[in-house]
Structure 1
């Protein structure tokens, strides 16, 4: 009986630690507190990232638009306005202030040779309040307007147009309008005030209006 009891006790002594080790391993393999990311949390993170990306994209787009409109387009408009101003200031004062019918063709800087388009330095024209986007058949801008393509070349090209129909609206990138006013005499030489406005038709996303550059100068009778 004692031997049997001893065998039973020894069996418990051997089986006891073994069962404890099995229990410890089982507990280590099955943590009580599992952590992870659910599908909903992932979707929320993706949504937040997308909103941030679209916001940055909007800023980049706005920066590109501003750079084109206020940088490239305004710079070009200023160059083309200065070019037209210099051309008008270089006209022969005596010849180009005569009646339109008596003026030589050199007084016409519009590149349109139709009737009424040779106005030279006679008072007239307009620079606003809005752009004359197409070649006018009548009105204040006749003889005081010209059109440029995207490269700054005067339309319709190297050969002057005999009518406005030769100036295709789809090719117009810049519109130059000018106005000439007689300045009231103060006892000095005869003065002309010349204003040139250049409107950019190539601007993008122009919800606040297309860029325009206006230059003004005075021309006196050198004689």
Structure 2
């Protein structure tokens, strides 16, 4: 009930009686989202062939959604003692599981494969459930506005996630370009070229090549998703 009443207080602070202001904000949000919707729901191949403007739209909308989700989680979890305690214990469990998995990966091959597959998910989960404790602690020690703390912590989470988990070098390509009986994994669209490698992972590729889009069309190349 405390969570619902707190959220209701925030909504009450917004002057919904100012009809013109609500209409302007609503139209602004609609226009903003309308320009990003198509790139946001594009397929893997469409994303790979997007121009920079569409990529920027898609990335911006993704980051905006993540920021909103992180801020809401930080606020809702931190104002409820039960949720906050559960998150602290959850963080400890995540850290222990991650540590044990890391140690086992040095000695057991199967454990190494499982660790490499799920480590990023465990780290991301640990970050999400740890950060709500920060605005709670800061707001008590420094007497800073609780909502401002939640927003700033959400920004920190977003930057950490973007730097650590959205790094293109760590991604595995799922798009294959077949051209002249050669198989290439596609990583990025650079100007009118595709950055390709002979391995699913860019770092593991022994051959890296820029292939012109016109050459792909002229040589009857085709894409497939693996």
TM-score range, shorter chain: under 0.3
TM-score by length of 2: 0.21
Which has the greater radius of gyration?
1
TM-score by length of 1: 0.21
Larger RCO (CA within 8 A; separation ≥ 6): 1
* Structure number having the greater helix percentage: 2
